[in-house]
Amino acid sequence: MNLAIADLIFILVYIPGSTANLFDKNILPESFCLYQIFLTYMSIFASAYTLVLLAFDRLVAVVYPLRAVYVRTFKNTIISCCIVWILSFLIYFFTFFISTSDENNNINFKNKSNTLCFDINKMSNLLKTKFSIKKLYFTFNIVSYVIPLLAIIIMYTIILNFLHKIKSKELKTAVNKQWRRRITKTIWLVIATFAICWFPQNSRIFYIAITYTNDTSDNENLLKTHNMILIAIFQIMAYSNYCINPILYCLMLKRYRWYVNNFWIFIRSFFIPKQTIITIEREKRFTKYKSSFDDSYHNSIRSTKSNNPTNV
Q: In this structure, is residue 130 part of a structural domain?
A: yes
How many other CB atoms sit within 10 Å of the CB of residue 36?
Answer: 21
> Do residues 238 and 300 share a domain?
no
How many C-alpha atoms does 17 have within 13 Å on its Cβ side?
23
> Do residues 294 and 257 share a domain?
no
Query: pLDDT value at position 171?
Result: 52
- As a whole number of angstroms, the distance between CA 16 and CA 27 comes to 10
pLDDT 10s digits, 15-42? 666 666 655 555 556 566 667 767 777 8
Q: Which of 50-59, 108-117, 129-138, 285-294 has the lowest mean pLDDT?
A: 108-117
Residues of the domain holding 99:
2-265
Q: In this structure, is residue 312 part of a structural domain?
A: no
Q: Which of 60-64, 242-246, 271-275 has the lowest mean pLDDT?
A: 271-275
CA dihedral for 130, 30, 2, 256, sign (positive or negative) = negative
> Do residues 22 and 126 share a domain?
yes
Q: In this structure, is residue 24 part of a structural domain?
A: yes
Residue 228's pLDDT band (boundaries 50, 70, 90)?
low
State the CATH number of the domain containing residue 22.
1.20.1070.10
Tell me the C-alpha to C-alpha distance, in Å, between residue 305 and each of 7, 271, 292, 297, 311.
57, 51, 20, 13, 12
> Do residues 213 and 187 share a domain?
yes
Between 220 and 233, the more confident residue is: 233
- As a whole number of angstroms, the distance between CA 60 and CA 55 comes to 9
> Do residues 129 and 261 share a domain?
yes
Query: pLDDT value at position 126?
Result: 44
Nearest to 126, CA basis, from 146, 99, 151:
99
> Do residues 42 and 65 share a domain?
yes
> Do residues 195 and 254 share a domain?
yes
Question: Region 115-137: what's the mean pLDDT?
Answer: 53
Residue 257's pLDDT band (boundaries 50, 70, 90)?
low
> Do residues 241 and 139 share a domain?
yes
Which of 249, 265, 281 is the C-terminal boundary of a domain? 265
pLDDT 10s digits, 128-172? 445 556 676 777 788 888 898 899 888 888 887 787 776 555 555
Query: pLDDT value at position 262?
Result: 67
Query: pLDDT value at position 198?
Result: 83
Query: pLDDT value at position 193?
Result: 84
Q: In this structure, is residue 118 part of a structural domain?
A: yes
Query: pLDDT value at position 267?
Result: 63
> Do residues 148 and 217 share a domain?
yes
> Do residues 215 and 291 share a domain?
no
Query: pLDDT value at position 204?
Result: 78
**pLDDT surpasses 60 at 6:** yes
- As a whole number of angstroms, the distance between CA 126 and CA 14 comes to 24
Domain count, the chain: 2
**pLDDT surpasses 70 at 86:** yes
Q: In this structure, is residue 75 part of a structural domain?
A: yes
Q: Which of 53-67, 140-154, 261-275, 297-311 has the lowest mean pLDDT?
A: 297-311
> Do residues 33 and 145 share a domain?
yes
pTM summary value = 0.63
> Do residues 241 and 291 share a domain?
no
Question: Region 283-288: what's the mean pLDDT?
Answer: 60
Query: pLDDT value at position 169?
Result: 52
| Percent residues over pLDDT 90 in the chain | 0
- As a whole number of angstroms, the distance between CA 62 and CA 187 comes to 14
**pLDDT surpasses 70 at 182:** no
Residue 212's pLDDT band (boundaries 50, 70, 90)?
low
Residue 100's pLDDT band (boundaries 50, 70, 90)?
very low
How many C-alpha atoms does 125 have within 13 Å on its Cβ side?
10
- As a whole number of angstroms, the distance between CA 77 and CA 57 comes to 9
Q: Which of 62-76, 100-114, 194-208 has the lowest mean pLDDT?
A: 100-114
Q: In this structure, is residue 218 part of a structural domain?
A: yes
Average predicted confidence (pLDDT) for the chain: 67
**pLDDT surpasses 80 at 106:** no
Q: In this structure, is residue 287 part of a structural domain?
A: yes
Query: pLDDT value at position 84?
Result: 86
CA dihedral for 123, 124, 129, 130, sign (positive or negative) = positive
Q: In this structure, is residue 125 part of a structural domain?
A: yes
* DSSP of the chain: -HHHHHHHHHHHHHHHHHHHHHTT---S-HHHHHHHHHHHHHHHHHHHHHHHHHHHHHHHHHH-HHHHHHHS-HHHHHHHHHHHHHHHHHHTTTHHHH-B-SGGGEEEETTEEEE--BSHHHHHHHH-SHHHHHHHHHHHHIIIIIHHHHHHHHHHHHHHHHHHHS-HHHHHHHT--HHHHHHHHHHHHHHHHHHHHHHHHHHHHHHHHHH----TTHHHHHHHHS-HHHHHHHHHHHHHHHHHHHHHHHHH-HHHHHHHHHHHHHHHTTTS-HHHHHHHHHHHHHHHHHHHHHHHHHHHHHHHHHHSPPP-
CB 114 within 8 A of CB 107: yes
**pLDDT surpasses 60 at 102:** no
